[in-house]
A and B are shown apart, each in its own frame.
Chain A
């Protein structure tokens, strides 16, 4: 393999897909920026504060986790813990089987993608239906999401219309409104027939045990209006210290993710439904999931656990815009995924050690992150880790000889003169892969090695 896998994937991406990913990420990014800077005097201060709040929560999870557990129990929820994805899947299955439940409706949760819950439940005779429009389309196509917030950013309306036709959801019609209406009609009867509603959580307040869920479509609300059992599958990093911190974070989440002041539905769940309310879950289960998060917490990249999954870093990232989400071979793509996905691999880090290389280190991700994660620094730390673990890195020039030269002035000056060769030998004949890769698309400037030093010496002051 001559170049990095993500570069090869990008090169093979059809031009129309690249164009549509580019256009929609660019539009969302530009709207986000305008909104934040029009509405607040110091949006960067908001991002810094939000980052500090989440960092504090992470570094005090040893006190916050038991605290939130106690609050949730006091609110009437049952609390479970899962070290691994398999353990979480097993727990969900136990809860369902104990109630003879066979039908689950799912609100969009990245964690359930991460642990492949629907795939696990299927052979046990349990239908776990995605209700977010994008995720529903992913599910009927047996595809994978390519964006954290916009799972089908890689699909066009014609492909979706064909899928709907194939699934018996009506004759071919690629009008987005018709597609949406058909999904509305099909899914509402599924909600009403379901036994269990599964959601994730955007935030959990340690102070009150309040679970906060945001959706634009209202699907989590429908899950929690139509079913009698609520299972919330939550990564341990979702905790925030206090209710008042939610105000700041919610203000940032909607604006950063979709350029909205607030996401349409923001739910604050304080336990099973109240007795007077006819609709909604009588039973609530919270499953706290580790699945590698404590390894990340122990690493020098723990800041990545601040992430609130808004997708702003994907939208601004020039590499994501060229490569799209599937290039990252992970549930979490883009800059955040390039850090998080290899870390969540645990002992199999090497399999995704190429992801942190997929960045020009331009820093745009850090600049837009609502929780101010220094993503480029974390990418660099992981590159160093890959090198320390001797993971091969296609296309990356070796640095040992360069370092020797660059720490010995005599050798350096000799090389400056030797480089003159470049002017006389066609670059195609020089067997240095990096030079070949450079020259395939770019001209090299004329070699002027040592000229400045000469000028500096000769000039009279």
Chain B
């Protein structure tokens, strides 16, 4: 449903888009992404000039501001190498959202070209590299949150394929898995009541499933849900898929 058509892959060198959230809060997720990719023999290049995918302003309706950031991103991630992002949301921004706001812009083709070589991490691992098995061990019961911006893409299925492949991982389902966590970027601060209510509903479902770790491919959802749980004084352990894969290689939960 999303415009997520991919160019065929050549070689095993990628550019890492760490995402602004990892840049500011979740450095370990970005580091785990690098370690996972390198474990698979992928050469990871980190363009120093990167900032953000442009989504906050895009979702907020300020497309002039957003396009400025997207143009910067297009410049920063020049070349032919695939761009790998440990976030379904930022990936979708580049292969779908940016196309929408550049529809009537002269540089739309360059934006579309970046979109075609942008991959969400799990999608890249499973559907790009063909990874179906995982080594090491990670003893944990895991609930996996299908983040909304992976709807219509292959990312959630890919993430589940990987988690199922990790020795020691037990996956548990929880209620209303198709429902949003309530983050939604600026939505979380302009609709704080609805946003928190949605988040608490999600937390109720997740807690009922009693996982050791709550895992997602998007740290934005985890920041919201983890933040709600912590504020309530009932913290939950959240991790990114990349952290689970990396920790498995290192022999278990850290």
Distance between Cα atoms of A319 and B199 in the complex (Å): 12
Interface residues of A in 374-404 (CB under 8 A from B): 374, 377, 380-387, 393-397, 399-400, 402-404
For this complex, 15 residue pairs linking A to B, each with C-beta atoms less than 8 Å apart, are A3-B191, A7-B191, A318-B201, A364-B179, A367-B178, A384-B62, A393-B61, A399-B65, A402-B65, A407-B72, A444-B227, A447-B25, A448-B26, A451-B27, A452-B31
Query: Is the CB of A41 closer than 8 A to any CB of chain B?
Result: no
CA distance A177 to B176 in the complex (A): 31
CB of A181 within 8 Å of the partner chain: no
The answer on a CB contact under 8 Å between A360 and B195 is yes
Contact of B61 among A8, A323, A372, A384 (CB under 8 A): A384
Contact with A along B88-111 (1 / 0, CB 8 A): 000000000100110000000000
A441-B26 contact, Cβ under 8 Å, with A360-B180, A405-B51, A409-B49:
no
Chain A nearest Cβ from B229, distance in angstroms: 8
A355-B51 Cα distance, complex, nearest whole Å:
30
Query: What B residues does A455 contact at CB under 8 A?
Result: 27, 31
What DSSP secondary structure best describes chain B's contact surface?
helix
Q: How many chain-B residues does the 8 Å CB contact rule pick out?
A: 72
Whether A442 lies near B101 (C-beta < 8 A) is no
| Interface 9-mer from A277-285, A329-337, A432-440 | A432-440
Interface check A292, CB cutoff 8 A: no
Q: Are B27 and A448 in contact (CB under 8 A)?
A: yes
**Interface stretch (choices B5-13, B52-60, B125-133, B244-252):** B52-60
Which B residue's beta carbon lies closest to that of A449? B24
Assembly CA distance A404 to B192 (angstroms): 26
How many CB-defined contacts (below 8 Å) exist between A and B?
A: 227
Number of interface residues of A (CB under 8 A): 73
A90 contacts B by Cβ under 8 Å: no
User: Once the chains bind, are B192 and A384 in contact (CB under 8 Å)?
Assistant: no
How far, in Å, is B21 (CB) from chain A's closest CB?
9
Quick check: B230 and A407 within 8 Å, CB to CB? no
Interface residues of B (CB under 8 A from A): 1, 18, 20, 22-27, 30-31, 34, 46, 48-52, 54, 56-66, 68-69, 71-72, 76, 97, 100-101, 148-149, 151-152, 176, 178-180, 182-199, 201, 223-224, 226-228, 230-231
- Given the complex, which residues of B lie within 8 Å of A318, measured CB to CB? 179-180, 182, 194, 198, 201
Q: Which 5 pairs between the two chains have the least Cβ-Cβ distance?
A: A360-B184, A383-B61, A395-B190, A442-B227, A362-B180
Q: Which residue of B lies closest to A435 (CB)?
A: B189
Rounded to whole angstroms, the CA-CA distance of A11 and B197 in the bound complex is: 10
Asked if A319 contacts B191 (CB within 8 A), the reply is: yes
Within 8 Å by CB of A399, from B50, B66, B151, B192, lies B66
Q: How far is the CA of A358 from the CA of B101 in the complex (A)?
A: 20
A445/B182 in contact, CB under 8 A: no
- Evaluate contact between A399 and B23: CB separation under 8 angstroms: no
Q: Does A26 contact B (CB under 8 A)?
A: yes
Which residue from A4, A399, A409 sits with its C-beta under 8 Å from B190? Answer: A4
Q: How far is the CB of A238 from chain B (nearest CB, A)?
A: 25
